[in-house]
């Protein structure tokens, strides 16, 4: 089977690069910026015309050294500093030296709340000071540690939330799916998943703009928040797709839920900045079988979603076998 990169290399990748939220930059070996995707545009204005890759970092990174690039193929740091180099976005960064001598830089934002990060930093410094004082001060240090633990827990929660829809992000919902599959295997309990896709979403973006598309995603996220109850879980799977987990539920329960969601979304008037939109969704449903992994469940639900779209959209399809 051919790899994904081999298959995609024959096609234009600009649409894919502009769709993802990660920042992608192509640079010369000395760090001079050559090209970048749309995720970098909000930050580009803050750099001088001849800026280099090293200007992105709050930490000292030797962008002149090829050996340094090889040593730092992946690391976590703050990028896009202000003039005082005090604040920035915490990012999971990757440097990929290319065969032609150029460098590919990829940055995924882990936490886009600089004020929260600054608060963690200040609390950490206070804890260190208090630890060197008297027993009374050490008690105060303990209180500060507890406070800092709370802030760190909040930061961790933010890192698992999709910033646009406020639903669990792809990483979180897939991790939960892995746990639910293991639980179903161990205790022989039912498990069903649904993949929801917004019909004609590309047409919405092309016709009304990406801000209108973002508003559609936000309101779908709100509807899922209102309609999905514990222990069920809904998360943003990617783009205009959402993944719903239904532990201890069979495919019929998922179909009933899909029917309610299709009707609710069909009857919702989505108000954007300039117009009111009416949209529909398609849903692919599958129930866990004893030989399934989380990957086979996803693949089968995706195939069911494809059948729902091929059948006219605004509907759901249950697929419990590979046939």
Q: Could you report the per-residue pLDDT of 104-116, keeping only the tens digit for each?
A: 888 887 755 556 6
pLDDT band at 66 (very low <50, low <70, confident <90, very high): very low
Domain shared by 154 and 182, yes or no: no
Q: Which of 240, 166, 168 is nearest to 197 (CA)?
A: 240
Residues 116 and 30: their CA atoms lie apart, in Å, by 33
pLDDT confidence bin for 71, thresholds 50/70/90: low
Q: Which domain holds residue 175?
A: 170-318
Same domain? For 175 and 290 the reply is yes
Residue 169 corresponds to which tokens in the numbers above?
A: 């992000």
Q: What integer is the mean pLDDT of 16-21? A: 76
pLDDT score recorded for residue 288? 96
* pLDDT given at position 63: 43
What pLDDT was estimated at residue 15?
A: 72
Is 140 found in the same domain as 99?
Answer: no
Count of domains in the chain? 3
**Same structural domain for residues 185 and 296?**
yes
CATH code of 248's domain = 3.30.70.270
For 128, residues 6+ apart whose C-beta sits below 8 A from its C-beta are none
DSSP category for residue 20: S
Mean pLDDT over residues 232-255, rounded?
Answer: 95
Identify the pLDDT of residue 51: 76
In the predicted model, is pLDDT for residue 64 greater than 50? no
Q: Verify that 314 and 185 share a domain, yes or no.
A: yes
Taking the model in full, what pTM does it have? 0.56
CATH of the domain at 48: 3.30.450.20
Q: Active-site residue 128, yes or no?
A: no
End-to-end CA distance of the chain: 21
Q: Does 164 reside within a domain?
A: no
Spatial contact of 268 and 227, defined as CB atoms under 8 Å apart: no
Domain identity same for 292 and 181: yes
Give the pLDDT band of residue 38 (cuts 50, 70, 90): confident
Cα angle 174-312-257, degrees, rounded to a multiple of 5: 45
| Listed residues 94, 129, 159: the one ending a domain | 159
Strands (E), the chain: 23-27, 33-36, 74-79, 89-97, 103-111, 191-198, 233-238, 241-247, 270-271, 276-277, 281-287, 316-318
> Which is the catalytic residue, given 180, 215, 240, 287?
240
């Amino acid at each position: 089977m051919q790899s994904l990169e081999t298959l995609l290399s024959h096609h234009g990748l600009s649409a894919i690069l502009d769709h993802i939220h990660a920042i992608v930059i192509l640079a010369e070996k000395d760090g001079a910026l050559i090209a970048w995707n749309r995720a970098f545009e909000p930050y580009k204005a803050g750099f001088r015309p001849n800026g280099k890759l090293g200007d992105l970092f709050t930490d000292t990174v030797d962008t002149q050294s090829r050996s340094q690039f090889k040593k730092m193929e992946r690391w976590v740091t703050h990028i896009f500093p202000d003039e005082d180099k005090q604040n920035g976005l915490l990012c999971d960064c990757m440097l990929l030296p290319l065969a032609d001598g150029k460098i590919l830089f990829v940055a995924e934002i882990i936490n886009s709340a600089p004020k929260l990060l600054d608060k963690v930093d200040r609390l950490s410094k206070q804890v260190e000071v208090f630890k060197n004082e008297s027993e009374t001060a050490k008690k105060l240090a303990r209180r500060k540690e507890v406070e800092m633990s709370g802030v760190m827990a909040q930061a961790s929660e933010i890192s698992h939330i999709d910033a646009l829809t406020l639903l669990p992000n792809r990483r979180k919902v897939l991790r939960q799916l892995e746990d639910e599959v293991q639980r179903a295997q161990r205790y022989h309990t039912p498990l069903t998943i649904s993949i929801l896709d917004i019909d004609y979403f590309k047409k919405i973006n092309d016709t009304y703009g990406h801000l209108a598309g973002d508003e559609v995603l936000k309101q779908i996220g709100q509807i899922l928040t209102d309609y999905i109850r514990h222990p069920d879980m809904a998360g943003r799977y990617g783009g205009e797709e959402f993944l719903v987990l239904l532990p201890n539920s069979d495919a019929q329960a998922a179909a009933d839920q899909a029917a309610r969601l299709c009707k609710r979304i069909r009857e919702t008037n989505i108000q954007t900045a300039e117009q009111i939109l009416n949209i529909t969704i398609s849903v692919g449903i599958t129930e866990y079988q004893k030989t399934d992994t989380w990957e086979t469940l996803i693949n089968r639900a995706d195939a069911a979603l494809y059948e729902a779209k091929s059948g006219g959209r605004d509907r759901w399809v249950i697929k419990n076998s590979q046939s």
